[in-house]
Amino acid sequence: MMKTVKIAVTIGALLISSQALAQKAGQTRAEAQAASAKKFRNLDADGNGKGSPTELLAFMTKAAEKRGETMDQAKVDRRLKRLDTDGDGNVSAAELAAEDLAKFDKADVNRNGVLDADEAQ
Ligand SMILES: [Ca+2]
Ligand SMILES: [Ca+2]
């Protein structure tokens, strides 16, 4: 009985930590930029270079489903508002990269361009 509980807790902890691994140890800034570009290609489903609100909704819904969560329009709207810095109503690759690289720079406390083990989370 106790053993089962312990295993369940371990699995739960693993799931949580793998979800939190948005930033990987050893990742360089260039890799973060490449990952962002790849993410944008997934977001921009019709390949017109713009992530439309509809595409963002589909993209975020898919990501939420992977985590076993649901997505709502209000969340997507807030995300779009944050991402869309030039205010054209769409997300560009540059706008997405700006957010991703800002996250990277925030995590890269010692500014050496690589996420060290203690900086990755
Ligand atoms: Ca598009
Ligand atoms: Ca925009």
- Per the confidence metrics, is the pTM higher than 0.85? no
Is the Cβ–Cβ distance between 92 and 51 less than 8 Å?
yes
pLDDT per residue as tens digits for the range 51-84: 999 999 999 999 999 999 999 999 999 999 999 9
CATH of the domain at 49: 1.10.238.10
81 occurs within a structural domain: yes
Measured between alpha carbons, how far apart are the two ends of the chain, in Å? 32
Per-residue pLDDT tens for 1-29?
556 555 455 544 444 444 444 567 899 99
The answer to the question of residue 71 being in a domain is yes
Residue 121 lies in a domain: no
Does 120 map to a domain? Answer: no
Q: How far is the CA of 73 from the centre of ligand 1 (A)?
A: 18
Residue 41 lies in a domain: yes
80 Cα: distance to centroid of ligand 1 (angstroms):
14
Three-state DSSP state, 72: coil
Q: Give 40 Cα–ligand 1 centroid separation in angstroms.
A: 9
Which residues have C-beta under 5 Å from ligand 1, the single-atom ion?
44, 46, 48, 50, 55
69-92 in b/e form (b: 16+ CB < 10 A) is: eebeeeebeebbeebbeeeeebbb
15: containing domain: 2-107
109 backbone φψ class: left, alpha, beta (φ>0; ψ -120 to 50)? alpha
Q: Is residue 119 in some structural domain?
A: no
Shortest-distance ligand to the CA of residue 87: 2
* Domain total of the chain: 1
User: From the CA of 91, which ligand is nearest?
Assistant: 2
Per residue in 78-118, pLDDT (tens digit) is: 999 999 999 999 999 999 999 999 999 999 999 999 999 98
CB 53 within 8 A of CB 80: yes
